[in-house]
Structure 1
Amino acid sequence: MTVLDGDPGRELRMSLARSLLDSGDLSAEWRSAVEMVPRHVLVPFFYRQDGTGKWCQISSEDPGFFAAVYSDTALTTQVTDGIPTSSSSQPSLMLHMLDALDVQDGNRVLEIATGAGYNAALLSERLGSDRVYTVEVDRELVRDARDRLVNCGYNPVVVTGDGRKGLTEGAPYDRLIATCGFTSVPPAWIQQVRPGGIIVCPLGRGNARLVVGHDERAEGRFLPGGSYFMGVRSEGGNGRIPYPGDPAEVTMRQTHVDYLDVEDDGMWFALSLVLPEIAWAHETGADGARTGCRLWACDGSWARVQDREVRQAGPRPLWNAVERAYGWWNSRGRPERERFGVTATESSTRWWLDSPGTPVPDMES
């Protein structure tokens, strides 16, 4: 890409690149791409909540727009019925994932979740547009991203579709990177990435790096650091688990696990693997102090914890699974993300600790 004279983001991109280099979040391989890709063209506006919780659109005419776009910050780029449904991810997080992807000249890459198109632009700058394919479920986002990428001088293949199905058009791929959250590895990805190819994907609250083998399986470990992506969604959906409401019939008991202990970052990650597709919310008192939590699932299961009292209902006793997970995690020395790994086949995704021979047990049985 050629940066145009008078480009208002040029110096800010250079500054962002220097800052990310100094912090260790940017490698020399990706420096040129960060300096060249005009994020403000791909993100011409974003949304920010005001003091009342209302979402306000911020555009290039607003003070602070360019500083925000060229900061190491995730930006909400789509809000649907008051719920964020797309964002431009934090640059440092994306660059760590791109480093883990280990792209080589000539590689063909599939990206799952185009969003604003910034990651597709970085890949196109590094590899050339003809080597980049990207899939997005939202037709409006696809239209906007395609147009804005062209305005930046890039022309990757941008397709509307369900990222869980991958994209057969450019298969087999050398690399696959996902920028929305998953609870398991879709079988189509293993079929569409060549043996020896690499998949980098958010799973639960971590990012995993998997190598596809000749035995139709993909295996690898989680990367250090958290994963903060919106969950995969279907067309027209918002990716959220609807709250089932307070049930009339509940069981009540005491718990030995403090809900604050569950929110340790390492435990939070482990819980996201063994109890997937669960929503969690804090509860606070009138003074703003934390008083408890509640969690719920798509099947209507529901649990609420205040102090040491548990109330739960539905087909699954959710807090029972939380207690088992906490006991297992605590007994294993409170392991961090990078001690965990994943083995995925076309029929299953399995978690393990330290080595594939030590599987993480089922916490719901």
Structure 2
Amino acid sequence: MGTDTAGRELEDIADEARAELVRAIEASGAFAGDPAWKAAFAAVPRHLFVPYYYVAGTAGYERRWGEHPDPAARERWVRGAYDDTPLATRMRDGELLSSSSQPSLMAMMLAELDVEEGHRVLEIGAGTGYNAALLAYRLGDAHVTTVDLDPEITESARQHLDAAGFHPAVVTGDGARGVPEHAPYDRIIATCTLPSIPHAWLGQCRPGGRILTPFATGVVVLTMRDDGQAEGRFLATPAYFVPLRGEGRPGREPPHLAGLPRRARESDLFRFLLALTRGSLDPEEAHALWEREGMPSRERYGLTVADGREWAWLDDPEGPYVWPLPESG
């Protein structure tokens, strides 16, 4: 069989797998907030953004790539590229440096971004470039900027975007500082988690704009106010992202949970509260609050950034349950 024929067959498999992915995302309800994103996911070829990726197995990570000499292995690669799962795309010494997020979570986050024609969007964390391609499909190349600290990541993202026919601005730099030369933005979306909201983002986002970012083990949607302050609540969904890498952002060890009831130790919602209040509440205090308030869901929590301060809260930003966050740059 000739190379051209094999290539056409692989593209046919990709088209079929992409259509199946779109159906899965639609069934999850992720498009409900903004159905126009369905066309973007149907059009943008995810496999071009993951020419190789790693799949965890019993013997460690298996590397799948599109240039594998075995046709069956290439088919596994392209079908896996359209699974509704996150894909590990860059590893170093066993540490995950970059990934392509779960498509249904991406779709939900993009829907919550509430974009409109003409909006300018800044993406923090270029990753593979796939999310930037979806944004560029919807809004146009000139309206999308994506930034990442690692020049290897930005270069590969740029190559992937070129291969797929998209040309948004791809910038190498510290995402915590934003990209002031392309500001102001109507929307800022992060695809990495961080311990506080960088003040630079607020200065680069228009009044009435939205900042959507992973935080703790959730996703918060902040609305910019005319006075330069921002506030908003968490979405219901859990979310686990690679931390933002840059100066002054070390990882933190999980708190010791020995002695707490099993239902708390194994609860995703309790671990969310622990992550949100780390440094303010110890695990016993967090557990007492969690039980007293009826094991609150993520939507009851929010963040406020105002007057040079940042705090998380339960139910009401004025209290009684408020927790200061670490100062950001």
What's the TM-score bracket when you normalise by the shorter of the two chains? Answer: 0.7 to 0.9
Aligned to 2:36: 29
Aligned to 2:260: 257
The one of 133, 156, 160 aligned to 2:172: 160
Taking the aligned partners of 2:8 and 2:119, their CA distance within structure 1 comes to 31
The one of 60, 63, 69 aligned to 1:57: 63
Instruction: Give the alignment of 1:95-106 within 5 angstroms.
Output: 95-106=107-118
Aligned to 1:307: none
- 1:70 paired with 2:109, answer no
- 1:40 paired with 2:47, answer yes
Deviation, structure 1 residue 35: 0.7
Deviation, structure 1 residue 242: 7.7
Report the secondary structure of 2:181's partner residue. Answer: helix
Deviation, structure 1 residue 179: 0.3
Deviation, structure 1 residue 19: 2.1
Taking the aligned partners of 1:151 and 1:356, their CA distance within structure 2 comes to 46
**TM-superposition CA deviations, 1:36-63 (whole Å, max 9, x none):** 11111111110123313x3231112324
Aligned to 2:289: 328
Deviation, structure 1 residue 81: 0.7
**TM-superposition CA deviations, 1:149-173 (whole Å, max 9, x none):** 0111100000011111111021110
Taking the aligned partners of 2:80 and 2:200, their CA distance within structure 1 comes to 37
Q: Alpha carbon RMSD of aligned pairs, Å?
A: 2.5
Deviation, structure 1 residue 358: 1.8
User: Closer, same or farther in 2 for the Cα pair 1:363/1:137, shift >3 Å?
Assistant: closer
- What is the TM-score normalised by the length of structure 1? 0.79
5+ residue gaps, structure 2, are 1-6
Aligned to 2:22: 17
- 1:92 paired with 2:95, answer no
Deviation, structure 1 residue 238: 11
**TM-superposition CA deviations, 1:167-221 (whole Å, max 9, x none):** 1021110000000011211100110000000010011011001100011111010
Q: Is the 8 A contact 1:342 1:352 kept in 2?
A: yes
Taking the aligned partners of 1:238 and 1:84, their CA distance within structure 2 comes to 16
Q: Is the 8 A contact 2:313 2:323 kept in 1?
A: no
Q: Is the 8 A contact 1:266 1:335 kept in 2?
A: yes
Deviation, structure 1 residue 258: 3.0
Instruction: Give the alignment of 1:1-365 within 5 angstroms.
Output: 7-8=11-12, 9-27=14-32, 28-52=35-59, 54-60=60-66, 61=68, 62=73, 63-234=75-246, 240-241=251-252, 257-258=260-261, 261-275=264-278, 321-345=282-306, 347-362=308-323
Q: Is the 8 A contact 1:85 1:239 kept in 2?
A: no
Counterpart amino acid of residue 45 in structure 2? P
Q: Tell me how many residue pairs correspond in the alignment.
A: 307
Higher strand share: 1
Taking the aligned partners of 2:30 and 2:156, their CA distance within structure 1 comes to 28
Deviation, structure 1 residue 356: 1.6
Report the secondary structure of 2:196's partner residue. Answer: coil
Higher helix share: 2
Taking the aligned partners of 2:316 and 2:205, their CA distance within structure 1 comes to 23
User: Closer, same or farther in 2 for the Cα pair 1:348/1:13, shift >3 Å?
Assistant: same
- What is the TM-score normalised by the length of structure 2? 0.87
Aligned to 2:4: none
User: Closer, same or farther in 2 for the Cα pair 1:358/1:65, shift >3 Å?
Assistant: same
Taking the aligned partners of 2:273 and 2:266, their CA distance within structure 1 comes to 11
Q: Is the 8 A contact 2:124 2:148 kept in 1?
A: yes
